[in-house]
């Protein structure tokens, strides 16, 4: 007999399935596939409650990998599916049953996620409602200590990391930017309120700027200075 194998099956319109513990040769194996499910809902503005017409929806699920004491869980993000609907309605098809997280995003809004949702086997997950809050944008220019525009400077939202009590940086495209050839930048997707932006460049000292961003902020000017140098010589002590 051969080693045990796991058989994976995928078919259009059906949920994917796995059958493990099969030791070849195997005869007269029957595997029944359940119809794939759909995730359905609507996306609307949190203040006006009016539908958002252009948006994207992504479905992700948790996966485990490793073995023994080295098992670890991670979330596999699904593709962003774009929608244009006057009523803000969406339907994401070909979804396998099980626990999922669904994220809705739209230009000018903060992303919203509904986590730990159960997609039933052979049925649809319906009635999801996403109420998106408008995001804040901070734009401006970065210059060097001589007043010249500085290209290639990274701008990133700085956040407290409660799990470590230290500092972590925002991940993803929201809350990040790189200055263009004229030193200009625009950081989008920020929460309303006080935010701290970190400005870094390989040839200059980093700089943090605290900003009161209760609304869009334009025309911010940030200057980066070069680090100082200490001249000297390194000598090697002769043995003996």
Question: How many angstroms separate the CA atoms of 128 and 97, rounded?
Answer: 16
Task: Tell whether the model's pLDDT for residue 130 goes beyond 90.
Answer: yes
Please enumerate in sequence order all residues whose Cβ is within 8 A of that of 7, keeping only pairs 6 or more positions apart, or say none.
Answer: 18, 19, 20, 22, 29, 31
Query: What does the pLDDT read at residue 23?
Result: 79
Task: Tell whether the model's pLDDT for residue 206 goes beyond 80.
Answer: yes
Task: Tell whether the model's pLDDT for residue 71 goes beyond 60.
Answer: no
Lowest pLDDT segment from 31-35, 139-143, 202-206: 31-35
* Contact assessment for residue 198 and residue 169, using Cβ atoms and an 8 Å cutoff: yes
Please enumerate in sequence order all residues whose Cβ is within 8 A of that of 237, keeping only pairs 6 or more positions apart, or say none.
Answer: none
* Contact assessment for residue 112 and residue 103, using Cβ atoms and an 8 Å cutoff: yes
- Token output for 112: 């919203």
**pLDDT class of 165 with cuts at 50, 70, 90:** very low
Query: What does the pLDDT read at residue 20?
Result: 78
Query: What does the pLDDT read at residue 31?
Result: 74
Question: How many angstroms separate the CA atoms of 113 and 132, rounded?
Answer: 10
Query: What does the pLDDT read at residue 238?
Result: 66
Query: What does the pLDDT read at residue 76?
Result: 66
Query: What does the pLDDT read at residue 172?
Result: 44
Q: Compute how many other C-beta atoms are within 10 angstroms of the C-beta atom of residue 33.
A: 13
**pLDDT class of 102 with cuts at 50, 70, 90:** very high
Query: What does the pLDDT read at residue 170?
Result: 43
- Whole-number percent of the chain with pLDDT over 90: 54
Question: How many angstroms separate the CA atoms of 116 and 193, rounded?
Answer: 29
**pLDDT class of 159 with cuts at 50, 70, 90:** low
Task: Tell whether the model's pLDDT for residue 167 goes beyond 80.
Answer: no
Task: Tell whether the model's pLDDT for residue 156 goes beyond 70.
Answer: yes
Query: What does the pLDDT read at residue 72?
Result: 53
Query: What does the pLDDT read at residue 1?
Result: 55
Angle at CA of residue 155, ends 150 and 158, nearest 5°? 150
């Amino acid at each position: 007999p051969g080693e045990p194998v796991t058989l994976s099956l995928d078919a259009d319109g059906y949920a994917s399935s796995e059958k493990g513990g099969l030791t070849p040769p195997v005869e007269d194996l029957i595997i029944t596939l359940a119809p794939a499910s759909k995730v359905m809902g609507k996306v609307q503005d949190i203040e006006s409650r009016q539908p958002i017409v252009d948006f994207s929806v992504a479905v992700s699920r948790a996966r485990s990998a490793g073995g023994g004491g080295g098992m670890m869980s991670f979330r596999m993000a699904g593709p962003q599916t774009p929608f244009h609907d006057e009523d803000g309605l969406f339907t994401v098809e070909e979804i396998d049953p099980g626990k999922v997280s669904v994220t809705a995003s739209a230009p000018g809004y903060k992303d919203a996620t509904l986590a730990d949702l159960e997609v039933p086997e052979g049925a649809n997950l319906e009635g999801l409602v996403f109420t998106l809050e408008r995001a804040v944008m901070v734009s401006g220019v970065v210059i060097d200590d001589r007043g010249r525009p500085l290209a290639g400077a990274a701008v990133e939202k700085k956040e407290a990391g409660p799990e470590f009590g230290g500092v972590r940086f925002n991940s993803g495209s929201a809350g990040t930017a790189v200055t263009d050839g004229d030193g200009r930048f625009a950081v989008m997707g920020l929460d309303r309120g006080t935010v701290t932006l970190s400005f870094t460049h390989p040839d200059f000292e980093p700089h943090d700027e605290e900003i009161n961003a209760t609304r869009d902020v334009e025309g911010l000017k940030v200057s980066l200075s070069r680090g100082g140098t200490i001249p000297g010589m390194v000598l090697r002590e002769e043995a003996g």
